[in-house]
């Protein structure tokens, strides 16, 4: 095992961290308090390279593997407190751009990938429904085959980027009797007749990352805008979740390191009873636990991404790392608040908001309960798909 990063990886990480800190973190707390996504910064971040990932150089990408992509996203989480902006970028890349690049036709890739990679277009993934969250294949949206394409009807909820998106990766049933094999994926443009985009729905966490609802009323989708083969939507969704759970979770590894650095610095300078609070065992033990959690998460995430890059089955590793990172990120945010005490309540410091922003990591990309079901299946304790 070689735990050393190459010079190129270290340079990329440091460059991404400096950009996130110097550009994206500037006035972050003001933007977050106003619950507004700064589209100019979104486009700057995309132009810098946060939406390039593993895409082919033919479309402006850098052909990075899962590990390199995760490292870059980790740097984003460490450098910028604007997690809403970061989450929006990662959802665009992991759940939309990557599946289109891996499964889209040559014509779709030629038309859309370059503007998606450079950030000229923003994408949203539309899978979740009111009765189809963890049980995603219980979706009721249908795409009925018709002359030259499909007629799409249904409603999607909790769609990140929906209010600002130019393109939508939409999953719908094309053959309801075939279960997992009866779902197909489609690429739909904003403004398509029959597509209604709801208003931004306020939320308490990741509050400046817009999300909303989509409704489809007899929307015609040309057959050329189907992603992959008919019935391949389940496999496409499953593949994109490997990338999303792995690489998007890296964002919260970066947050954990930022919380550790902030808490450690405070514990060294904050004086009580004539000495820094970090010299009290209860405080130092808390910070040591934060460090241990960070390193455990890194090792598990990096191993899962490395295995995926080697072409191995990394589903178990990715599920374990997603669960571990999300649970530990919440606990580290709580420990940071406990160490700062009353000062943690200051809005400008933003520690309470950090806690709120890491809580969704236990829910998105499959809840942690679902990750345990995946683990049980991979260990032979369950049948079928978890």
Residues belonging to the active site: 244
- The set of residues, in sequence order, having a beta carbon less than 8 Å from that of 351 and lying 6+ positions away, is 259, 262, 333, 336, 337, 340, 344
Q: Return the axis-axis angle of helices 315-340 and 351-358, rounded to nearest 10°.
A: 160
202 CB-contact burial (10 Å; exposed 0-12 / middle 13-18 / buried 19+): exposed
Q: Which residues of 222-233 are buried (b: 16+ CB within 10 A; e: fewer)?
A: eeebbbbebbbb
127 to 92, 131, 234, 277, 320: CA distances (angstroms): 14, 11, 11, 48, 23
Q: Which helix (H) or strand (E) holds 292?
A: helix 281-309
How far is the C-alpha of 42 from the C-alpha of 252, rounded, in Å?
A: 19
How far is the C-alpha of 86 from the C-alpha of 67, rounded, in Å?
A: 18
- The set of residues, in sequence order, having a beta carbon less than 8 Å from that of 23 and lying 6+ positions away, is 41, 44, 45, 48
261 to 28, 78, 268, 293, 344: CA distances (angstroms): 18, 10, 11, 13, 15
């Amino acid at each position: 095992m070689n735990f050393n990063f190459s010079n190129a990886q270290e340079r990329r990480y440091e460059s991404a961290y400096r950009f996130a800190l110097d550009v994206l973190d500037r006035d972050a707390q003001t933007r977050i308090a106003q619950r507004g996504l700064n589209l100019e910064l979104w486009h700057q971040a995309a132009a810098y390279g946060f939406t390039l990932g593993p895409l082919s150089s033919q479309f402006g990408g850098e052909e990075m593997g899962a590990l390199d992509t995760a490292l870059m996203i980790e740097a984003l989480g460490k450098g910028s407190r604007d997690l809403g902006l970061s989450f929006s970028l990662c959802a665009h890349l992991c759940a939309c751009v990557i599946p289109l690049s891996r499964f889209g036709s040559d014509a779709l890739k030629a038309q859309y990938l370059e503007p998606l990679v450079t950030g000229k277009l923003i994408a949203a993934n539309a899978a979740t429904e009111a009765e189809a969250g963890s049980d995603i294949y219980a979706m009721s949206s249908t795409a009925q085959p018709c002359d030259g394409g499909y007629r799409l009807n249904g409603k999607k909820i909790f769609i990140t980027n929906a209010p600002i998106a130019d393109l939508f990766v939409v999953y719908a049933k094309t053959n309801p009797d075939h279960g997992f094999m009866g779902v197909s994926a489609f690429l739909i443009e904003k403004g398509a007749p029959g597509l209604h985009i709801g208003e931004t729905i306020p939320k308490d966490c990741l509050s400046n990352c817009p999300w909303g609802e989509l409704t489809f009323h007899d929307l015609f989708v040309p057959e050329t805008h189907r992603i992959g083969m008919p019935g391949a939507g389940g496999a496409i969704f499953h593949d994109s979740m490997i990338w999303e759970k792995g690489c998007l979770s890296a964002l919260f590894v970066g947050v954990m390191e930022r919380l550790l650095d902030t808490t450690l610095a405070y514990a060294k300078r904050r004086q009580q009873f004539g000495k820094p609070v970090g010299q009290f065992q209860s405080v130092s033990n808390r910070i040591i636990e934060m460090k241990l959690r960070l390193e455990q998460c890194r090792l598990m995430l990096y191993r899962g991404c490395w295995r995926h890059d080697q072409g191995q089955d990394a589903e178990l590793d990715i599920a374990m790392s997603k669960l571990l990172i999300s649970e530990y990120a919440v606990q580290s945010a709580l420990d940071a608040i406990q160490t700062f005490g009353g000062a943690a309540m200051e809005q400008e410091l933003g520690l309470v908001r950090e806690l709120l922003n890491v809580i969704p990591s236990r829910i998105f990309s499959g809840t942690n309960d679902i990750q345990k079901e995946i683990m049980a299946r991979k260990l032979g304790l369950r049948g079928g798909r978890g």
